[in-house]
Amino acid sequence: MSAPQPAVPAAQSAAQPAAQSAAQSAARSAGPTVEPADGELVPRIVHPSDPLAAPLLADLEREYDARYGVEVFGEPASVELNRYPAEAFTAPEGAFLLLLSGGEAVSGGAFMRFDERTAEFKRIWTRADVRGRGLAKRVLAALEREAGRLGYERIYLTTGPRQPEAVALYLSTGYTPRFDPARPAAEVGVHPFTKELGPGIRRPAARARAGTTSKETRS
């Protein structure tokens, strides 16, 4: 069974363009994308248990706990990061993607099944010392291509109320907020977004669907 989609408040239609414009202006002012100094960026799909993925998962746990503790979601980050089996992030249901530089992960993300036509993006991360260089946008684009290759037509994702940079990222890359951006982030709580994949990305694929229905969380 698929999880219900959150309703879109009527105020969103008026507030969304302004929020998107602000995010796009911030992205432009950040300047051109700069590659990490230690070499070519290589995207690679790995198993979630691959040692290459360990820094991503460890740093997400550290950062989520630092930002949210247990008071916001009622649980430590380790619970969310271990909520789903590793197989949920492997084909044909999902993928776990890293952006490597010098053989080390500098950015990455994953997706799993949300419903029959929708992939849910999770674990979006960039190493702290290379943030602001467009790496997360490259990860999102690569994940979208892989989701389309597996036959998904739509992306769903969430972020938390204490991650304004993530909200700006999703607004600047074509994701539609399924909440009223004019409301204070703390009142919104979990911030859900969706995006329809274009026909140039989608590829028909037969997928047997049985598995985990996701829970709205940090990301």
Integer Cα distance of 67 and 116 in angstroms: 33
The bridge status of strand 104-115 relative to strand 95-101 is antiparallel
Domain ranges of the chain: 12-196
Q: What is the pTM of this model?
A: 0.76
Asked if CATH classification 3.40.630.30 holds for the domain at 12-196, the reply, yes or no, is yes
Tokens representing residue 194 in the block:
């969706």
Closest Cα to residue 5, out of 217, 219, 216? Answer: 216
Closest Cα to residue 105, out of 134, 71, 139? Answer: 139
- Return the pLDDT at 206: 44
- Return the pLDDT at 15: 41
pLDDT tens digits in sequence order for the chain, 219 residues long: 333 334 433 333 334 444 444 444 433 333 333 445 446 899 999 999 999 999 999 999 999 999 999 988 999 999 999 999 999 999 999 999 999 999 999 999 999 999 999 999 999 999 999 999 999 999 999 999 999 999 999 999 999 999 999 999 999 999 999 999 999 999 999 999 999 998 877 666 544 444 444 444 556
Which residues lie closer than 8 Å to 62 by C-beta, 6 or more apart?
77
Closest Cα to residue 163, out of 155, 171, 151? Answer: 171
- Return the pLDDT at 72: 87
User: Residue 145's CB: how many other CB atoms inside 10 A?
Assistant: 17
- Return the pLDDT at 201: 76
Q: Which amino acid type is present at position 74?
A: G
- Return the pLDDT at 4: 38
